[in-house]
Amino acid sequence: MTIPFSGNSLTNPFVVELLQRSWLSEKTFELELSRPGTFRFRPGQKIRFLHKGLERDYSLVCSPDSPRLSLCVRHVPAGLVSSILATAEIGTSFTLTGPHGYFTFQRSPRPPVFVATGTGVAPFLSMTRAGVAGFAMLHGVRTAGELYYRPDFCAAASLYVPCLSHASPGSALPPGAYRGRVTEYLGEHLPPGAYDFYLCGRREMIRDVTLLVDERFPDSPVYTEIFY
């Protein structure tokens, strides 16, 4: 007897082909993969690479109606999977499962605030490409060179603030940028109120922003996606 259950993502591996790789910065690239006709996902969800016993999750950056699947990957030199993805030849086949996760946009009367660090912008890009607009977005990076996808967010967001944590004091900042961490910006500039917070990125940011929300914006839901 088998308990009826469908949709277990671990049971639905599918094969895709690497079609294109575009470098967005020194360490970050976008991959385009073939898309099986049956694959459906919601903006903000992720897929899982299976490779020789390893599993790695990556958020999709494409819209749900895109003919290809796109991912934003940060190359970690010591990272086995990201190194393979950074060097694999075009045409290489990969096995994936998915879609995974619940980090999707929820319509609500509260204004949405997207907070990302590094490649944590990925699910927000998928949402933006699916038509989500009018949100406030903070993108925390070390330097201005890591502000990939900036035009997409500038076009869709009501407020887009790059937060540069490692900009040298006195150095010129890109227009509208903030010198400091996303948490500092939120603490200093976001007016009191209730918002829908969407946090994606490093766990330190998730922790700090969540604790700040509890303290300063207590009636605000928090949706999180941690990038390890």
Least spacing, CB of residue 71 vs another protein, in Å: 19
107 binds another protein (CB under 8 A): yes
Residues 6+ apart with CB under 8 A from 108: 196, 221
Judge residue 6's burial from the number of C-beta atoms within 10 Å of its C-beta, 0-12 exposed, 13-18 middle, 19 or more buried: exposed
**Residue 76 Cβ vs another protein, minimum distance, rounded to whole Å:** 12
Phi and psi torsions of 115, nearest 5°: -125, 120
Contact between 55 and another protein per CB under 8 A? no
Give the separation between CA 103 and CA 124, rounded to whole angstroms.
10
Among 25, 50, 210, 216, binds another protein (CB under 8 A): 210
Tell whether residue 40 is a contact of another protein (CB under 8 A). Answer: no
Instruction: Tell me the closest approach of the beta carbon of residue 147 to another protein, in angstroms.
Output: 25
Q: What is the DSSP string of 123-143?
A: HHHHHHHTT--S-EEEEEESS
Instruction: Give least dist CB 110 to another protein, A.
Output: 10
Angle at 222 between CA 218 and CA 225, to 5 degrees: 155
CA torsion sign, 160 to 136 to 157 to 206?
A: positive
The reply to whether 65 sits near another protein by the rule CB under 8 A is: no
Q: For residue 220, state whether it binds another protein (rule: CB under 8 A).
A: yes
Choice between 8 and 38, CB closer to another protein: 8
Q: What are phi and psi of 81, to 5 degrees?
A: -70, -45
Interface with another protein (CB under 8 A), residue from 111, 180, 187, 221? 221
Residue 75 C-beta: closest distance to another protein, Å: 17
Residues at the contact surface with another protein, assessed by CB under 8 A:
1-8, 42, 102, 104, 106-107, 196, 203, 206-207, 210-211, 213-214, 218, 220-224, 226, 228
